[in-house]
Amino acid sequence: MQLNTRQLSLIAGGLFPLTKLILLPSTLAHYTGRDLYLPALFLFLLEGGVLLSVLLLSSKTDKTFFELLSDTFGRVTARIVFGMFGVYFLFSALLPVYEQTLLLRSAFYDTIPSPLFFAVFYIVCIYFCLKPLRTFGRCADLLVPISSVALLLLFALSVSNADFSALFPLFQTPAKDVAFTTLRSMPRFLDCAFPLFFLGHFKYEKGTTWKVMLSFLVGALFVLLFLGTFYAVYGVIAPGKASAISKIGRYFPGVDLIGRIDLLLIYLMSGSYFLYLMLPFWLSVQCLKTCFQTKDEYDVFYAVGINLFVFILYFFLHYTIVHFEKFVSVYFFPVFFLFSYLIPVLAWTLRRKHA
Amino acid sequence: MKTSLAENRTAMKKELPSEDILSFRFHTGSGIECELFYADGIVDKELMGTLVINPLLRYRGDAEEKALFEALAFPELKCVKSEQEAVSAILEGNPVLFADGVSSGFVLGTKKVPQRAVTEPQTELVVKGPRAGFIEELKTNMGQVRLRFKTPNLRFETLQIGKQSKTSVAVCYLSGIASKKVVQEVKKRISAAEIDAVPDSSYVSRFLCPGRPSLFKQVNTTEKPDIFCARIAEGRVGILVDGSPVALTVPYLIVEEFQSPEDYFVNPYRATFLRLLRIGVLLLAIFLPALYVAAQLFKMQLIPLSLLLTIASSIQGLPLSPSLEVFVTLMVLEILNEASIRMPKYVGLALSVVGALVLGETAVNAGILSTPAVILIAFSGIGLYTVPELIETTSLLRLITLFVAGSVGIYGIVLFALFLVIYLVGEERYGSPILAPFAPIVGNDLKDSLVKFSMKQLKERPRAIGSANRTRLKEE
């Protein structure tokens, strides 16, 4: 087995929240103001439900998702579905990957870095794409504890500057705006589809479901607290702070004496963040490989092709990331909903027992 | 083997024409002609005279194998029937006696290799703990291990490798504790090695982990029998090579580098502090020069304002860019380091003066290097030696990180670190992940990793090694 319960829990609790701490807080603050946690809460509930469904499914079968599909609909259909997921993961990776630019501009560089600098990410990503799932689990073992400590410290630095009265009165945003923002923020809550592709690659043990769900809950609570604190620190100017995580701790009183210690914490956290950004690329490679039924030695072509495509696309988009984010969020949420929420739940209808 | 001594003599002379192969001819008390063949310089001639020649001079019996065997009454005596066995025994340093009328040779275990005393190895000095070290002689090294394990479970299996050198390699393990799979794999890999000569154990280590060469160690080494035995007791397999004081152990885990023998002789709190210090300083030593360069080039906010002003004043007017300045300083350190290892000891003092004063202070005064860079590199240079066994890897990593930092900044450093993590978590040695117990997390093994629990709490052997018997300490 390539993953174990502990690693799944670390992924759900320690990696799922990371992509939600960059552009999402300012976007939510822009549309829902001090109620920014409400859309996030709804999406977490939705995501949690899908995750629970996949975990329960894993308790009923030891088949992989591909086996489930092919046993129900035949191999050809299963390959087509995997091909669609291959493209979907690639597409879903675009926004978080491009979002990292905002973090980099804010936390890693004083000036806007050359787009060429990002080639390093894709080089490491190609290497990662050629590794087995076990590598991802072990990386989570090592990096999640480090990033969790870094995030907690960062959170502690920011609390001293937070004015939590800015969050009151509660529930002032009209329901329509909350619903719109919920749909709009969906591209940041697509993690629940990933465990579907871990099916058959981890051994379901007694307690796996509640351990992973508890871990997910802790991660979700952290994000909600982070959102609240972010708004409590910046108040009405929060929508202007695009890279929330690099802004939240910058007013720590000791900064003059010891430098931007919050940045050091972000660097510690970013190992996990970059790793997690690479997961959709890895999944895309695996899906396309399954779709075309190619041998392992050809993985390198998928990995290079996918990364090169995203990198080239970045050259055209790197000045318009905010517009790109709006475009993807507004027009593509049905696609996200289908692949990340509906299909994982519908997987219950597939033939779980061995013929 | 022939019955006629003359024929055996001719065969030996033909097989061993080298000048250092000598022979001594004499007659027994009953007039049987005998001849001893031996390799000069590696035989105890006194013992040979006392225990072999003297009894035979008094021998009055016939030329019979059994009677001669009993007359010799030598503890390490065996008969060989083939020429090839006799030749091998002579080349190993054991004289072979031929008697006219006897169709076998007597191998006499009077090998005496010139050897140095058992002293403390210079590379593994300790303040507290045993000081004995391995030497170049295999038998002595095996004896040192045997002295520490008075159990029939301690097994030595000697193999020979090297087409020309025929070097003896002893595979050492505790039966019932070491994984059988690992023992088999080690023996298989050593036996499969096709090499001319094995001057040192490092040659054997290449065969223990075939495949792509790695920047990281594949096999752990030690020159101290106490460390070697501690690893064997944990369930590892040890390899002793004749002619080398460096013993090898597998499977190798990176965490071993942060465990010093002294950690087990001091209290666990002190040991934990020292381990955290080692890993903290090591990481700083690798990444600090790179962070310094990246901060100057790409993210000045990282440096506190007052320190930034100090740095600004010291780098003012420097002809080199921050990355080049640090690179030059680092190269000077590497050169000094390399030269100080190789140069004769009596010029060592001169080197210190040249290194510290001329290259350090004068370069700063001349405005070629800045004081912060020199301080930083000095710290980094010292820091890497907190884990000296990893120095080959860490000094290279420091250079690569510096290059990445100068090109891409902190983003590059983080991604390079991530690349290392991805690489390392996938690396396994004999089925044990080298980053265990951190990746994958092995709860039990964490008790003797960065945090050192007391001996009473270390009830189980490290699980990551895959020992056949996990219990190390029984419940009281």
* A·B CB contacts under 8 A: 99
- For tokens 């907190």, name the residue: B386
Of A108, A138, A256, the CB nearest to B299: A108
Chain B contact for A105 (CB, 8 A cutoff): no
Q: Which of B376, B276, B273, B287 is nearest to B330 (CA)?
A: B376
In this predicted structure, what is the pLDDT of residue A274? Answer: 96
Stretch B181-193: mean pLDDT: 92
In this predicted structure, what is the pLDDT of residue A355? Answer: 57
pLDDT band at B335 (very low <50, low <70, confident <90, very high): confident
In this predicted structure, what is the pLDDT of residue B475? Answer: 67
In this predicted structure, what is the pLDDT of residue A213? Answer: 96
In this predicted structure, what is the pLDDT of residue B272? Answer: 94
Answer yes or no: are the C-beta atoms of B348 and B340 closer than 8 Å. yes
In this predicted structure, what is the pLDDT of residue B432? Answer: 92
User: For chain A, which domains are there?
Assistant: 5-349 (1.20.1740.10)
The answer to whether residue B449 scores a pLDDT higher than 70 is yes
User: How large a percentage of chain B has pLDDT more than 70?
Assistant: 99
Q: Which of A7, A103, A105, A142 to mutate to test the interface with B (most CBs of B within 10 A)?
A: A142
User: How large a percentage of chain B has pLDDT more than 90?
Assistant: 48
Question: B446 vs A232, A336, B261, B279, CA distance in Å?
Answer: 39, 41, 17, 15
Answer yes or no: are the C-beta atoms of A105 and A113 closer than 8 Å. yes
Of A104, A113, A127, the CB nearest to B422: A127
Chain-chain contact of B418 with A124 (C-beta, under 8 angstroms): yes
In this predicted structure, what is the pLDDT of residue A248? Answer: 87
Answer yes or no: are the C-beta atoms of A42 and A207 closer than 8 Å. no
**What pLDDT digit, counting tens, does each position of B132-157 carry?**
999 998 989 999 999 999 989 999 99
B304 to chain A: nearest residue by CA?
A: A259
- Residues of A (185-214) whose Cβ lies below 8 Å from B: none
Of A113, A258, A274, the CB nearest to B418: A274
Chain-chain contact of A260 with B302 (C-beta, under 8 angstroms): yes
Answer yes or no: are the C-beta atoms of B121 and B133 closer than 8 Å. yes
In this predicted structure, what is the pLDDT of residue B95? Answer: 92
Per-residue confidence of chain A (355 residues) as pLDDT tens digits?
Answer: 789 999 999 999 999 999 899 889 999 999 998 999 999 999 999 999 999 999 999 998 889 999 999 999 999 999 999 999 999 999 888 888 888 888 898 899 988 888 888 999 999 999 999 999 999 999 999 999 999 999 999 999 888 888 888 888 888 889 999 999 998 888 889 999 999 999 999 888 889 999 999 999 999 999 999 999 999 998 889 888 888 888 888 888 777 777 788 899 999 999 999 999 999 999 999 999 999 999 988 999 999 999 999 998 887 777 777 777 778 887 888 899 999 999 999 998 887 776 5
**What pLDDT digit, counting tens, does each position of B18-40 carry?**
889 999 999 999 899 999 999 98
Q: Which of A8, A45, A76, A6 is nearest to A186 (CA)?
A: A45
**Helices within A104-194 (DSSP H only):** 119-129, 133-159, 175-184
In this predicted structure, what is the pLDDT of residue A84? Answer: 96
pLDDT band at B456 (very low <50, low <70, confident <90, very high): confident
What interface predicted TM-score (ipTM) does this complex get? 0.95
| Rounded distance between C-alpha atoms, residue A66 and residue A299, angstroms | 18
- Which chain B residues have a beta carbon less than 8 Å from that of A259? 301-305, 307
In this predicted structure, what is the pLDDT of residue B213? Answer: 81
The answer to whether residue B210 scores a pLDDT higher than 80 is no
Stretch B304-333: mean pLDDT: 88
Burial class of residue B322 (count of CB atoms within 10 Å of its CB; 0-12, 13-18, 19+): buried
Provide the angle, in degrees to the nearest 10, between the axes of the packed helices B391-408 and B371-384.
150
Answer yes or no: are the C-beta atoms of A125 and A281 closer than 8 Å. yes
